[in-house]
Amino acid sequence: MKWFINLNYRERWVLLSGTVLLVFILSYFWWWQPFIAKHIQLTHIIAAQQKSLQWMTQSAAEIQQLRQPLSHSVSSTNSLSLLTLIDKSMRQGTLNSVSKRIESKSNQEVQLHFEQVSFTELMLWLAQLYNQYQIQVDSIHIEQLTLPDKVKARLTLTMNN
C-alpha cells in the first residue's frame, strides 16, 4: 500500500481507472456474456419445443379425426364376410391381375396362395386391409423368386374383432 501512496496523482488515477476497467471487462466476459449466450440458447430451445408441441397437438387432432371414421367403417363391414372383403379389396387394388388362390377356412379365416406377386404391392395391400377393415395376418410364408421384388406367398388372414 505504501508504494501506491508514493505514486504521483496521475499514476494513481491511471492505475485505479485501469483496475476498474479491468473489473468491468472481466465481469462482462465471466458473468454477463455467458448469461446472455445461455439466455439466447434457451430462447431458441423453447421456440423449437413450442413448434414441436404445436405440431404434436395438430397431429393428435388429426389422429383423433382419422380414428373416428375407422370405427364406423369397421362396424359397417362386420356384416360382410371376410372372404367378400378380401375379394373386394383385391379387385379394387393392384393385385387384381395377380395369379392367386383363395380358400375360406371359416367365417373368420381365409387362406391365400400367390404364385408370383410383387412383395411391395403385397405389403401395401396387407396394410390397406388392416387400416380399412381390421383384417390382420395370422400366418405368412414367403419365398423369394429369382425376379426382383417377386415372391411366392402363402398367408392366412383373420378378422380382428
Beta-ladder partners of 104 = 110
**Residue 80 phi, psi (nearest 5):** -85, 145
Name the nearest CA neighbour of 153 among 96, 125, 115: 115
Quick one: pLDDT at residue 84?
85
Distances (CA, A) of 44 to 55, 73, 133, 161: 17, 44, 44, 47
Quick one: pLDDT at residue 93?
78
Residue ranges of the chain whose pLDDT lies below 50: 70-72, 74-76
**Residue 158 cell numbers, joined:** 383373420
- Tell me the whole-structure pTM to 2 decimals: 0.51
Name the nearest CA neighbour of 159 among 90, 93, 88, 77: 77
Name the nearest CA neighbour of 104 among 26, 63, 45, 159: 159
Element of type H or E holding 155: strand 150-159
Beta-ladder partners of 158 = 109, 136
Quick one: pLDDT at residue 87?
83
Quick one: pLDDT at residue 79?
55
